[in-house]
Amino acid sequence: MASPREQVLEAIPRAAGAPRGAPVTAGAVDAAGRVAWIETRDDIAHLLVAAGGRVLLELSLAVGATDDYGYEGCSAGFIEWFGDRAVTISSETRRTVVWSIALPAVGAAPSRGALASDAVASDRPGVRRLVLDRTCAVDGDLVVWAGDDPGLVGAGTLPDLLPALPIPVRGAPGYVRVAIEERGVARVEKHDDRAWTPVEHLRLPAGVQRRFFPLETDDLLSAVARRLFEPRAVPPAARLFVEAVALPFSRGRRGTAPDDRAPWRPSPVWLPVYWHRHLSGAGRGHEARELLSLLDEIAAPLSPAEPERGWDPAWEPLEGAVRLAERHVRRQARVQAESCRHYELPPGWWCLLFHPAPGSDVPGSRIDPASLPPALRRVFELLAPTKPAEIPHRY
């Protein structure tokens, strides 16, 4: 019996109406007989779809500047059908792109083209993409990757590329990769001393847990803050930290559209460390010590030796969102307390929060303060005019 790859290679010339000469790195056949495959030409991966004796779609998967002398090409080795959409994942230098493409029906006119390096998904009908800074892994209809914020695994649904809830890991490892160990379980590894070592084995969400959108930002952050301190009232100083760290779990932070980058770029996650440094240097040492004590209090109930396990299948989606966010806040309280004590970020992390945007000399102009939750906005607008120096970091 022919292997799946051999079946695809045999199906391509029948579907396309003629043999193809370029190397094929991956392919899949859907229930309607359409064949989708990846060809590599001149070190650039192309997605093709054929049926009924002709090629229906041809699309370059390059998103970098291919005319740049230093461009090193792109590759793709995964492709799978999800109904009328094909999902593929391409890799370029320092970039991974998850593509979700609505395919023409059998008998439709052929379509050819490429997305320019500055294009977005909406520029080409039927094409959605999710651009990541790191590699990713696929588990059924879920894609996972090392998140943009410390201590998080990011997630999105397939084929729509909508955000799913992130999953916390211990600490803030700077160089992380995620792989699927078995169906429903992700293995998270960190790179230390030239070797990859396991950090966590995380149960991934299942069923409705994968497609749950949590509360609006303020409601979600308030629910997490109450859980951290119940039955007593939430200390006012805690709100800044909760907003900074738990934002990735909120609807407002995560967005609802494909190719949607977070509205806060760069992330405000390290703002409490900037604030602590400001308090210490402005003769407000008592407030700085109170903030540090609060971080220690938040972190204390969760031992750094206790592993993260991801989703409990018994959790209702909202319960899971709040529980995971609470654990993440406790984990990062320990991380940020250490950063406050030593005025240095964990290895592999840096923060451009107060750097001017390209073409501007205004500190903090990379983000829109109006889009920040209240406590973050208040502190950001107090600090930005002081031109805070970048927090030291190590690679």
Spatial separation of the C-alpha atoms in residues 82 and 105, rounded to whole Å:
14
**C-alpha dihedral sign at 179, 183, 184, 185:** negative
| Residue 146: half-sphere exposure toward Cβ, Cα within 13 Å | 24
- Geometric angle at alpha carbon 67, from 64 and 71, rounded to 5°: 55
Q: How many CB atoms lie within 10 A of CB 322?
A: 20
Q: For residue 274, what pLDDT band results from cuts at 50, 70 and 90?
A: very high
Residue 53 backbone zone (phi > 0: left; psi -120 to 50: alpha; other: beta):
left
Structure tokens at 124: 């080409």
167-217 pLDDT tens trace: 999 999 999 999 999 999 999 999 987 899 999 999 999 999 998 766 678
Predicted local confidence at residue 66, as pLDDT: 83
Does the structure show a pLDDT above 90 at 118?
no
In angstroms and rounded to an integer, the radius of gyration of the C-alpha atoms of the chain is 23
Structure tokens at 6: 């051999």
Q: Could you give the percent of the chain with pLDDT greater than 70?
A: 90
Beta strand 142-146 with 136-139 is antiparallel
Q: How many CB atoms lie within 10 A of CB 304?
A: 11
**206 or 261: whose pLDDT is higher?**
206
Note whether 92 and 73 are within 8 A (CB).
Answer: yes
Among 222, 207, 161, 157, CA closest to 313? 207
Predicted local confidence at residue 71, as pLDDT: 87
Beta strand 54-60 with 111-114 is parallel
Predicted local confidence at residue 107, as pLDDT: 53
Q: Could you give the percent of the chain with pLDDT greater than 90?
A: 73
> Residue ranges of the domains in the chain?
1-130, 217-386
Mean pLDDT for all residues in the chain? 89
**159 or 119: whose pLDDT is higher?**
159
DSSP letters along 223-251, please? Answer: HHHHHHHTTSPPPHHHHHHHHHHHGGGSH
Predicted local confidence at residue 258, as pLDDT: 41
Note whether 177 and 134 are within 8 A (CB).
Answer: yes
Q: What is the mean pLDDT of residues 143-166?
A: 93
